[in-house]
Structure 1
Amino acid sequence: MDDGPLFPTQWWWTLLDVAVAAVVASLALQAPTSEPKAMVIGLVMAVVLIERRRRPVLVMGVVSALSVVQLLLVRDLSVHDVAVLVAMAAVVTHGKSMRSAYVAGGVVAVGLLFALLVVGDTIRDAVLFGAVVALCVVVWLVSVVLRLRKDAAAAYADRAATAERERDHLVALAAAAERAAIARELHDIVAHSLAVMIVQADGATYVVDKDPAGARKALRTVADVGRDALEDMHRIVAVLRGGSDEPPPTRRVGLDQLEVLAERARVADVAVELRVTGDSAGIDAAEELTVVRLVQEGLTNVLRHAGPGASVEIAVDLLDDTVEVSVADDGAGRTPVGGTSGGNGLVGMRERVLLHNGRFAAGPRAGSGWRVHAVLPRKANSA
């Protein structure tokens, strides 16, 4: 079992801070014994530097103040004054903004001028002082580069995290859309098939003695509907399983299926008048499937809520730019199948139409009955 690294990353940074402080302390201990004040100031600087990563601005202020005190007391520079550069680098790389980096650089520049004024008479080597100035500039520039790289890495990390969140969100939306599509398919298949099968089975039980031929016809219809439903269920299950090199079994649902749906409804004692006008050339499979499912769900609602004996008018108009579908019944049936649909059929129809950027309306007709109307734009002709 992997419990992670032996030493967390934060420990390594802490050890680095302690090592830097130890180096500064060792430099302070090398100060001339005649100047114990400088040694004490250097040791304090070293201790303060341990917090440079967590409180860079405070450490910069304390170390700068100590260096000023040293100049006033000792009147000389010391090698442990490198602590000022370490503190400046911490402010530049770990400060909240680049403004603090400029302020830290300005503080060091003012400190150099102050040192030149205080101990200028003791600095006889201009080259040495120029080297000190160059060292400060180099440390500041290197720290700025590190700061910019750190900010760029943080920006890349933020963008990567944002992209990952967006990807997860899109995956969730795609999964939700897929679930909605599967739910629509299941509802259309199960609801319609069961409604027809229930009506046919009830009719067969009523006429099995009086009209054996009619009963056999009803049972054949039950078997045909059941086989179609089972085939569609196999197709949906194959899509859900996935992971197979073989494509799932498909059953092309075209406009010719409308007559099959109408005939099955007629066998269930629903008077169906089907009218399909216009040219079907150019209509794609998705549009055909939507039209068939709309008619199928409309007939299911008739069987469920109006019942056998109702009359239905189905009109499918294939116009140049749109496909209009209308399913209207007179509500004059008897003993409807019933059930607790909860309005899922209407929701599914509306979702199907909206996927094609179409318009959908459903509601009671004047007098009695119910009407479903949908308008779908034709992609082939609108492209």
Structure 2
Amino acid sequence: MSEEGTPPAPSAWIHLTGRHRQVLGRVCDVGLALVVLLAARQYDVESDLPLGLLMGLCLFARRQYPVTVLGAVLALAVVQFALHDPSGPSASAPAAYDVAVLFAMMSVVHHSRDPRMPYAAGAAVLLATGAGTVGIPAAGLERFADPETLLYFWGLTLTVWLTAFSLRTRRLYAESQAARAWHAEREQEHRMRLAAAEERAGIARELHDVVAHSLAVMILQADGAGAVLRKSPDMAETALKTIAATGRDAIDDMHRIVRVLREGDQGQAVDEVERRLVTLDEIGTVAERARVAGLTVDVSVEVGEGRLAPAEEMTAFRIVQECLTNVLRHAGAGAKVGIELREEQGTLLIDVVDDGAGTLAGGGVDPHSGGNGLVGMRERVELAGGTFEAGPRLGSGWHVRARIPTRTKR
């Protein structure tokens, strides 16, 4: 993985980075300059060596300023041909060190970021070479090539241009592939982080449901058992049995969740946490425990058997369980709770209403507090594609309503 926010290099041979890239680039620049200089040393005319030296020095800036370098080399070539005079030349024309023009053109084709520049560079060199077949008497440029020689020069120019253009295409393709792979990797990491966050949220919801409900029931039962221990041993015994049963269920659920955290594979944690499927029938169990804890609970389930998917039954059960937990915690014994589940036109409707044991609304939980229980219920319903609302009733008590679309089994 490359540095944050920077796509990696496509290949160590195509796009070197850091000091290695600078060293290799300087070596190439020195090599090209030496080729031009050695070619200029073959000529005895006084201006050839200075012109060749200047052309070679221009090539040192061909990577940073390719278009400027091409313009400078072409200008030096014009000076070279202007100094050429068959009667007494001050410079040779054409000469071997004119290869600097091809090197400069290659630099424009390969390094320029403007997609129009490669074509402009090739056209400029072809036009400049073509001008030599007719000469420009007004500028003092004599004709230096016949049509056959011109075809040779053009063929060489086109060969060099096509080679440079193929290298450019390969470089751009490699860079695009590297950038695409980098963005794909970043997107995958982002998806993994989102999936991990969803898994943590799912496990947190499950832990809250297990711990909060079980502890609420056990605390109320323990308080009740302590109050009636001397007066009614039978009631105390029933309360203790409820505490034991609730504790065993909570321990089983905790073991299941801890096992997932230790051994579960990434991407499967939530599924593993909810592997112990619950059904609507278990609503009667938690309702009975709530009754033993001192609540008056009326349950109405008007959902046909097999009409809901397992995930929908799990969601409905957890919502009812959390509602009873909240009533036990905030209203306490003596509160009346009405639970109604029904299915209408492909939608599961859940209504849970309590009277708050006569306490005026607003004395308990703040509807805008965003407690873990309300947040967890809302997340469960929204994950199922439904809607959720909860708040105080007029007078006393609370209501919770949820609408969950169902995948009705026919």
Over the aligned positions, Cα root-mean-square deviation in angstroms equals 2.4
Q: How many residues align?
A: 371
Q: 1:135 aligns with which of 149, 156, 179?
A: 156
Q: How many angstroms does 1:333 deviate by?
A: 6.1
State the distance in 1 between where 2:117 and 2:144 align.
Answer: 32
| 1:85-126 Cα distance to aligned partner (Å, 9 max, x none) | 1100100111122211121112102211233334765546x4
Instruction: Name the amino acid aligned to 2:401.
Output: H
State the distance in 1 between where 2:405 and 2:38 align.
Answer: 83
Counterpart contact for 1:279–1:319, Cα < 8 Å: no
Partner of 1:193: 214
State the distance in 2 between where 1:202 and 1:102 align.
Answer: 89
Asked if 1:116 corresponds to 2:133, the answer is yes
Q: 1:365 aligns with which of 379, 390, 393?
A: 393
Instruction: Name the amino acid aligned to 2:373.
Output: G
Going by fraction, where is helix more abundant, 1 or 2?
A: 1
Q: How many angstroms does 1:366 deviate by?
A: 2.2
Q: How many angstroms does 1:291 deviate by?
A: 0.5
Partner of 1:22: 34
Q: How many angstroms does 1:381 deviate by?
A: 4.8
Q: 1:73 aligns with which of 62, 74, 83?
A: 83
Q: Mark the CA change 1:61 to 1:121 in structure 2 (over 3 Å): closer, same or farther.
A: closer
Asked if 1:300 corresponds to 2:321, the answer is no
Counterpart contact for 1:37–1:74, Cα < 8 Å: no
Counterpart contact for 2:280–2:316, Cα < 8 Å: yes
Q: How many angstroms does 1:346 deviate by?
A: 0.8
Identity %: 47
Counterpart contact for 1:278–1:319, Cα < 8 Å: no
Instruction: Name the amino acid aligned to 2:163.
Output: V
Asked if 1:91 corresponds to 2:108, the answer is yes
Q: How many angstroms does 1:251 deviate by?
A: 2.8
Q: How many angstroms does 1:6 deviate by?
A: 12
State the distance in 1 between where 2:61 and 2:25 align.
Answer: 11
Partner of 1:215: 236
Q: 1:51 aligns with which of 29, 49, 61?
A: 61
Q: 1:150 aligns with which of 171, 183, 186?
A: 171
Counterpart contact for 2:110–2:168, Cα < 8 Å: yes
TM score, norm. by length of structure 2:
0.85
SS in 1 for 2:401: strand
Instruction: Name the amino acid aligned to 1:42.
Output: G
Instruction: Name the amino acid aligned to 1:274.
Output: V
Counterpart contact for 1:60–1:84, Cα < 8 Å: yes
Partner of 1:380: 408
Instruction: Name the amino acid aligned to 1:349.
Output: M
SS in 1 for 2:301: strand
Counterpart contact for 2:355–2:397, Cα < 8 Å: yes
Unaligned runs of 5+ residues in structure 1 are none
Farther-moved stretch of structure 1 (344-353 vs 314-323): 314-323
Unaligned runs of 5+ residues in structure 2 are 1-15, 86-92, 136-140, 266-270
Q: 2:374 aligns with which of 330, 343, 346?
A: 346
Asked if 1:234 corresponds to 2:251, the answer is no
Q: Mark the CA change 1:269 to 1:171 in structure 2 (over 3 Å): closer, same or farther.
A: same
Partner of 2:10: none
Partner of 2:347: 322
Q: 1:39 aligns with which of 33, 36, 49?
A: 49
Partner of 2:99: 82
State the distance in 1 between where 2:21 and 2:151 align.
Answer: 38
Instruction: Name the amino acid aligned to 2:353.
Output: A
| 1:288-340 Cα distance to aligned partner (Å, 9 max, x none) | 11010000000011011111000001111134511111111011168xxx899
Partner of 2:315: 290
Q: 1:355 aligns with which of 366, 379, 383?
A: 383
Farther-moved stretch of structure 1 (5-14 vs 169-178): 5-14
State the distance in 1 between where 2:23 and 2:365 align.
Answer: 67
Counterpart contact for 2:94–2:144, Cα < 8 Å: no
State the distance in 2 between where 1:320 and 1:167 align.
Answer: 39
State the distance in 2 between where 1:294 and 1:10 align.
Answer: 65
| 1:173-227 Cα distance to aligned partner (Å, 9 max, x none) | 1111111111111111111111111101111111111112211211111111111
Q: How many angstroms does 1:262 deviate by?
A: 0.4
